[in-house]
Amino acid sequence: MQKVSKGTLRNSGRFDTIEQARPVLTTETEFVAEINRLANRVDETYWMIGELLIEAKRTLQIGDDLWSDWVDTHLRFNRQTAFKIMQATRLWKSGEIPSDQLPPNYTLVYEIAAIPTAYRQKALRDGAFRPDMRRSDITQLKRTLLPPKPGKHRSRRAIEAELRRLDEEESRIARRRAELERELKALTS
């Protein structure tokens, strides 16, 4: 099997077909809807890839010692990407966290999967997971959940930086709350 490079698709004529099939969009609503539709397709495709990777490793009986080489030789992405997709897919399929509480992107689900099980369970009980999570949310969740690594005490500078970030977040929330309250007041007037 020949490894497919990322540039191969551009030269295959498939992009010409994609250009011809693309709808003509003129409004913000149309652009947003089309971009989100395609992003959802990408996310769905990654889950399918994850299932196929897991199945290929099992069916082809490729051991851990040969798996990385197999991925690097035959697939368009590297072993780290394959590992992350597989770990995210395993968590998603396990049902440990309801799928409606997981972000749709495999990279974010992988970040959640990398949290030790006991801490993930605590976060689940606390209602910490939601589909609109961003990487910064997961990073903050890890800071809150996980004990500091041995020998890695947070510096005064790091603590002050986090306090500033929290102050900014509080300000943003206060502004948004005021906007919503004004909007609600206008609706009831």
Alpha-carbon distances, residue 26 vs 20, 30, 87 (angstroms): 16, 7, 39
Predicted local distance difference test score (pLDDT) of residue 169: 87
Cβ neighbours for 49, distance < 8 A, ≥ 6 positions apart: 85
Predicted local distance difference test score (pLDDT) of residue 113: 95
Angle at 181 between CA 178 and CA 185, to 5 degrees: 140
DSSP 86-104: HHHHHHHHHTSS-GGGS-S
Predicted local distance difference test score (pLDDT) of residue 19: 56
Predicted local distance difference test score (pLDDT) of residue 170: 92
- Cα separation, 112 vs 124, whole angstroms: 11
3-state secondary structure at position 34: helix
Predicted local distance difference test score (pLDDT) of residue 117: 94
Predicted local distance difference test score (pLDDT) of residue 75: 93
CB atoms within 10 A of CB 122: 14
Q: Which residues of the chain have pLDDT under 50?
A: 1-7, 9-10, 15
Predicted local distance difference test score (pLDDT) of residue 152: 63
What amino acid is encoded at 94 in this protein?
Answer: S
140, burial (CB in 10 Å: exposed 0-12, middle 13-18, buried 19+): middle
Predicted local distance difference test score (pLDDT) of residue 16: 54
Number of H helices, E strands in the chain: 9, 0
- Cα separation, 187 vs 159, whole angstroms: 42
Predicted local distance difference test score (pLDDT) of residue 6: 45
Predicted local distance difference test score (pLDDT) of residue 160: 85
